[in-house]
């Protein structure tokens, strides 16, 4: 919401951390946590990646940490729901479980991605609970960094009401003020983290409420792409609203690569398969990301495919996000991160779909 601060903070006075101290903080924290932070790689892409344990590698990685303007290629959902993950191991007629419980510090994610995480948390916690996701999310601390300007020109968080600053669900939130960050505390866990690493944080008696508010308003105004998100949800949740013509036109351009769904913070579908090494009598059951736009996603062993035509898969993709997720949970399955558009080889995105249905004109 415009210019508002976090509502569940006010635990203590606002803290400040100088930007120059961030690397030292991450280095200290990495002794206790698996630290995930955006890092710029040699090809120029920014990935939310884990800091290495090895001291030399750690120092190198810290040099590549990128907090501001970081446009991470994929959402951070893969920290809890990896692209490929072992579920079970088979060895000598025994089946071993492989959940993973490490303590994770997720440092420097965007408010839209936080919303995505909260969304997938809810999905995987619903009956039946998914032990692999749940175990990975159990011990985590999330530090959001608000966006002063949109990392992607396709961002539309102010329309989706997910940014550019988070209002809840974070443990700490950084507000960029030039040479330092104001640090908002969103939870007891966040406060404990500050207490644990006191030496990096400054406490000021000055009241910075107005300064923070101004930063947030300016950030809010920097998001240029606006769409009528609520109207799109209102339309889509009407049973009778099926924009078949739009789906069909998108299906003529879409190459069904699934990229938009891989980068999407709320896509949770997966495939399950086994690998087996007959010689060593060893194998594993794995799952990897899957996408509803693939032809084989719904093809049955008999050959029958309920979504044989491409446009039906396109319909599923948009209706799952905007119709059924919202209907079921009250949460939209789109968080306005704009990655679907920025990653699409043929320039199709959720924002354009929303514009098309709400403005009632052909855009795509």
**Residue nearer to another protein on the CB measure, 44 or 273:** 273
Tokens 């749940």, residue?
A: 134
How many angstroms separate the CA atoms of 194 and 201, rounded? Answer: 7
Regarding 128 and contact with another protein (CB under 8 A), the answer is yes
Regarding 93 and contact with another protein (CB under 8 A), the answer is yes
Range list of H helices, the chain:
22-29, 55-63, 111-125, 131-138, 157-160, 188-196, 209-222, 229-236, 244-253, 259-263, 310-319, 325-329, 339-343, 350-359
Span 240-259, contacts to another protein by CB under 8 A: 242, 244
Please identify, among the stretches 110-118, 121-129, 139-147, 211-219, the one whose residues bind another protein according to the rule CB under 8 A: 121-129
Helix or strand holding residue 284 (H, E): strand 282-289
Q: CB-based contacts of 38: which residues, under 8 Å, 6+ apart? A: 46, 47, 48, 49, 65, 66, 67, 70, 72, 108
* Binds another protein by CB under 8 A, chosen from 274, 346, 347, 359: 274
Minimum distance from residue 208 beta carbon to another protein (Å): 42
Span 304-323, contacts to another protein by CB under 8 A: 304-308, 312, 315-316, 319-320, 323
How many angstroms separate the CA atoms of 173 and 151, rounded? Answer: 17
CB atoms within 10 A of CB 23: 15
Regarding 275 and contact with another protein (CB under 8 A), the answer is yes
256: left (phi over 0), alpha (psi -120 to 50) or beta: left
Helix or strand holding residue 40 (H, E): strand 34-40
Minimum distance from residue 311 beta carbon to another protein (Å): 9
Please identify, among the stretches 15-23, 127-135, 154-162, 225-233, the one whose residues bind another protein according to the rule CB under 8 A: 127-135
Regarding 43 and contact with another protein (CB under 8 A), the answer is no
Please identify, among the stretches 47-55, 89-97, 139-147, 351-359, the one whose residues bind another protein according to the rule CB under 8 A: 89-97
Minimum distance from residue 130 beta carbon to another protein (Å): 5
Query: What length does the chain have?
Result: 364
Size of the site for another protein (CB under 8 A): 56
**Residue nearer to another protein on the CB measure, 174 or 315:** 315
* Binds another protein by CB under 8 A, chosen from 99, 149, 180, 251: 99
How many angstroms separate the CA atoms of 313 and 275, rounded? Answer: 29
48 and 79 Cβ atoms separated by less than 8 Å: yes
* Binds another protein by CB under 8 A, chosen from 228, 285, 331, 358: 285
Q: Which residues bind another protein (CB under 8 A)?
A: 87-88, 90, 93, 95, 97, 99, 123-124, 126-132, 134-135, 239, 242, 244, 268-276, 278, 283, 285, 287, 290, 292, 297-302, 304-308, 312, 315-316, 319-320, 323-324, 327-328
């Amino acid at each position: 919401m415009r210019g508002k601060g976090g509502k569940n903070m006010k635990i203590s006075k606002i803290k400040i951390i100088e930007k120059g101290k961030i690397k030292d903080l991450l280095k200290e924290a990495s002794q206790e946590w698996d630290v995930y932070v955006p890092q710029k790689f040699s090809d120029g892409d920014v990935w939310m990646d884990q800091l290495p344990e090895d001291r030399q590698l750690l120092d190198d990685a810290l040099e590549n940490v990128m907090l501001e303007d970081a446009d991470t290629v994929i959402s951070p959902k893969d920290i809890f729901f990896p692209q490929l993950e072992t579920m079970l191991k088979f060895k000598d007629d025994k089946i071993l479980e492989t959940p993973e419980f490490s303590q994770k510090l997720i440092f420097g994610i965007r408010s839209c991605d936080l919303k995505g995480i909260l969304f997938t948390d809810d999905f995987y916690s619903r009956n039946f609970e998914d032990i692999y996701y749940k175990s990975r999310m159990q011990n985590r601390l999330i530090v959001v960094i608000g966006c002063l300007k949109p990392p992607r020109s396709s961002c539309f968080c102010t329309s989706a009401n997910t940014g550019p600053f988070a209002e809840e669900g974070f443990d700490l939130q950084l507000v960029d003020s030039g040479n330092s960050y104001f640090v908002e505390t969103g939870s007891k866990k966040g406060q404990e983290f500050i207490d644990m690493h006191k030496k990096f944080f400054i406490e000021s008696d000055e009241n910075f409420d107005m300064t923070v508010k101004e930063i947030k308003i300016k950030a809010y105004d920097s998001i240029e792409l606006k769409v009528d998100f609520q109207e799109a949800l209102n339309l889509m949740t009407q049973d009778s609203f099926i924009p078949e013509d739009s789906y069909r036109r998108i299906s003529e351009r879409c190459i069904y690569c699934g990229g938009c769904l891989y980068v999407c913070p709320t896509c949770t579908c997966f495939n399950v398969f086994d690998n087996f090494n007959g010689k060593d009598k060893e194998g594993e059951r794995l799952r990897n990301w899957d996408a509803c736009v693939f032809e084989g996603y719904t093809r049955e062993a008999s050959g029958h495919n309920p979504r044989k035509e491409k446009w039906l898969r396109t319909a599923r993709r948009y209706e799952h996000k905007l119709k059924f997720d919202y209907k079921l949970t009250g949460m939209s399955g789109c968080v306005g991160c704009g990655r679907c558009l920025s990653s699409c080889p043929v320039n199709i995105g959720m924002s354009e779909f929303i514009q098309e249905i709400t403005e009632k004109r052909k855009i795509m």
